[in-house]
Structure 1
Amino acid sequence: MAHKVDYCCLLMLFFTWFLPSLADNAQVLMNFKRFLSNADALNNWGNQSIGVCSWTGILCFNQNFHGLRLENMGLSGTVDVDTLLQLTNLNSFSVINNNFEGPMPEFKKIVSLRALFLSNNKFSGELPDDAFEGMKRLKRVFLAENGLTGHIPTSLAKLPNLLDVDIHGNSFEGNIPEFQQRDFRVFNLSYNKLEGQIPESLSSKDPGSFAGNQGLCGKPLSPCIGSPTSPPDTDTDEHPNSHPEKENKEKRVILTVIVVAGVIVLASILALLIIRYRRKKPVLVKEAQPQNVTPFSSESKSIVLTTEPKKSEEGGLNFVRNEREGIDMQDLLRASAEVLGSGSFGSTYKAMLLNGPVVVVKRFKHMNNVGKKEFVEHMNRLGKLSHPNLLPLVAFYYGKEEKLLVHDFAENGSLASHLHGRSGVELNWGTRLKIIKGVARGLAYLYTEFPDQALPHGHLKSSNVVLDGSFEARLAEYGLVAVVEKSHAQQFMVAYKSPEASQLEKPSEKSDVWCLGILILELLTGKFPANYLRHGKGASEDLAAWVNSIVGEGWSGEVLDKGIPGRGSGEGEMVKLLRIGMGCCEWKLESRWGWKEAVSKIEELKESDDGGEGDNLNSLSTSLDDFSLSHSTS
């Protein structure tokens, strides 16, 4: 009888506490909406017949509210933090790509917040030093492409659980504070006004994380003037009565005058050249681009070549698809172009033609050893490929110094940008499964079309998987091993980082499968295989250690990315995919899966579980032990 009474009490508590909280959240959300402008996208808010979890932009897990994702809605008005404080279980808040402006709201009041996404708005002004104080649970902070000024708050640097921080494209100034966290998944301070020496704790970060800050120095950028690596200055010792500060000030004044005069002269010369040659071909100058991978940038410019194309030797664009003809080489070079990135092979542009489609242009500077005939034949062969999961080659240009490849533009960017927070969009399990199936199908097609090549792709990684408007996967930079300089391919192409490539100095027919396995683990764990950025010998061993560290954790709940929306109903299938990734990453070639087996197993996966999850978990634990053992004995 006592048990029945307890049970009844629990039911009463449930209806008294839990159900009213859902109703309370609905009312709080309606109150929050009143502070917003241009909120037509939220018209179904208040519709009780569909439930709060079905309202636009509401994030729920197991029918429990946990966040707001109000992205790309044209919203403006006020983000009223005091109203948000009344929401129960607000873990994530995102208003990426809207029109909010003014000072950043006091989100530090919401101490339970785990993720804050404010990128691509018009927030402005200085952030107080305690802007993030007390937010001990905060893991993800995205403030990119706003108008924020002042110093980076030390309270941000002191967050104990911070994993992702992206504040690029603002006007933050001063020195970079000492960040408490070391193992970042996303770290981007580029295109601000930061200065001074980069803290030693951040010296191993990618140089692209600091690009566009003219005043920064120290590893991984150039050494600071007057640092221990620079020659000592003995002027003060020779002239003890001199005044260094005054002399430095005078030098800066003189240098400024010289620079200004030089700019005026250069501008005059350029103006004369433009007037003289505006009816002729544009003067093409060599573009200086960093050699390291840099993040996406909104910088607008024209595509320029090292040397001007000569009709007699090089000609214009060669179209491999007849339906796309009509783009003129000079129109392409004059087109407004957005720099998407600059990596080991060259720069990538999004070119917006005046009377034509949007295309992506990739410059290659490391194909100089291939002759024109061989290059043209290979590009025509690539141009004949047709598959829903390949990014089609539209046209190419052959020059002695560099080559251009023109592809269709993929609206949703690269898989890497989504997995590692640069896009602001989290991929749910169903979308990730759709993407990896597309990758597998595209790779299978390449294997069948290039049976004579050990590496039909050669450079398969998340940044070379792009997503179209419906998030279908399209493979990019495929089939280029035959035309890339061998030394450059060995140093930078992903397939050459497989175990066999490092041991035998050449890849095998299963090297692309190894890359597929790494991609699967990255897709499921959310962890970036940073060893791709470590070039030269030893990188493959590091990469193998990374794989082993992932699967060696066992089933602790930390292997799969907890941030995958909708993972609960598909966890068993995710475990199956993890085992497939492990099979593709086997160190020994005889133990590693072939592409047909891998593709077949991937095709069998479903979006939701069909039972037997416990068996999957037990089987995974055994597989993890076997996999770790095979690596330790290799």
Structure 2
Amino acid sequence: MGAHVAGHARDIKTTAFLFLLSLATTFLATAASPQSDALLKFKAGLGDNDALGTWDPAVDPCNNDRSNWAGVLCSAGAVWGLQLEHMQLSGVVDVDALAAINNIRTLSLMDNRLDGPLPEVKKLGKLKTLFLSNNYFSGEIPAGAFDGMGSLKTLHLANNDFTGRIPASIAVLPKLTMVRLDGNQFEGRIPDFQQKFLRAVNVANNELEGPIPKSLSHMNPNSFSGNKGLCGAPLQPCAAPPPSLPPPPPPFSFLPAAEAKLTNLTLEIIIGLLILVIILIATILCLILLHHRRRRRTHHSDNPLTRNPSSVTATKVTLTTPPAVRFVQREASHLSTASAKRAEQQANNNNSNRLLFLRDDVERFDLQDLLRASAEVLGSGTFGASYKAGVVGQAMVVKRYRHMNNVGREEFHEHMRRVGRLKHPNLLPVEAYYYRKEEKLLVSKFVEHGSLASHLHGKHSSGQGLDWPTRVKIIRGIAKGLAYLYEELPLTLPHGHLKSSNVLLSDAFEPMLTDYALRPVVNADHAHKLMIAYKSPEYAQHGKTSNRTDVWSLGIVVLEILTGKYPENYLTQGYDGKADLGTWVNDMVKEKKTGEVFDRDMAGTNKDSKSQMIHLLQLALSCCEEDLERRVGVKEAVERIEQYVDGGV
């Protein structure tokens, strides 16, 4: 019985221990839950979305500096920011939930489907960066919407539907360095920005009017384009206001007779005194002049050089500046200006007259080596000419860009450093670059095998084009390279200019994407005219690109590979449904002429490959859907390509 009691006591102790352990676990979970609870509450406002599927209540969002939840930025186990871009998010932005996270410093919700008025972001008073561009926010922003946000440095509200005046509280944020308000419907005057370190303000494509504040007169003119009512530096001068009319004379009043007599008498005395003063002055002047002539006559009579009348005439004094003096003055002014220009040019040369390398595994050479090398012109593309140059025993390609002069030096350097960090077998690395305000040079290795476009559309014998296995390999590589850009670059258009001539082929026919990630540094007007992303149906319909615009470009390239037809849209400005390759393929499929779609010069096909061809054709059409809701995402596109290529169709 004693043993039974002892066993029972042990059971009680065990139960008590387990209970205490459960309490401790619950306490620890509760202690670690505030930031999780806040994020989950924030997620609930956004509705159901697979993009936030990793936000698991059972897992802490942060593990030291590593994030366990998609889009959450962590530091020392604490949430310091959210980067929820390109996720098709909609619903309500619960700022109150985020305000419970004390350490939040950055918030990016760019390229989503969020709408309604601007959230009450001033409740997040410690934010340093706020990115809300490329959404559907609308309505007027209250003047004090940003009061108290003393730490805010970067603010992006571009490409929404905001109306009314630019809120005055933006102009007084003390640490603001960059603000983008372009692509909205703001009206009225631009407030006077007085921040000491302000580097960039973009208010293009709004409905603003009036003179540009002097504090912004040094900004790029394109930052103010698209506003018909703006004037003043750096745009055209404002028209001079019409001259004001002189004030009307005071009404004439009649004086009483006695007062009028007194006034007339006073007037006569004043006039008399004035006449006497004038006579006195004239007399004094005459006496002085007479005395001067006597002295001059005496001096001339003693001077042998003045006895000849012609000599007297020759020594007549002119009151204008002598020609020699004028010449010296002009030369001094010219030399001063030239010296200033030389000093400015020297400063620019010292700062920028060199190549900047982005990779450590490249043998270094300088700009002079590049300029002295024998160059072969490869062609003139959308952005400028390309040259092949032999430098330090290797062939390099130099691309010259003239349409990047709207971006500042530091912003360009930072973007190129970001591009230099990219590393993927399906991307052609940028090895080095050269910065000058008027033009930029990008240097990469020469790829001997040429572009995909030249292999698809170049001259070759019938049946000697790219075979099917090679085309499959190219499709897979292009998709994987694009997916990598989506993962690494927080941009609406990670590529922006995807087309067959920007896909180079290695000796093993492995595709390498070029001209990627250029949109942030290309002038907007040039990009809108020539870049492939701006030939998409969504830009034609809504004037905006999306995070699936590059997927549309991918679909066109895949159709080009399958059909062997050159997309006429490459040559047009903007989207033309009649010239769209996807439209033509769709029409052929509807007419049950699918068999006539595929390239007849494609060798190496069999029964299995035909099944792959059909599935890839369907996928390409899904990538080219005009309706963004029905268009596939890049991740799904890559997964389906892998599935079809590996035979799991």
> Which band: TM-score by shorter chain?
0.3 to 0.5
Q: TM-score, normalised by structure 1?
A: 0.45
Q: Which has the larger radius of gyration?
A: 2
Structure that is richer in helix per residue: 2
Q: TM-score, normalised by structure 2?
A: 0.44
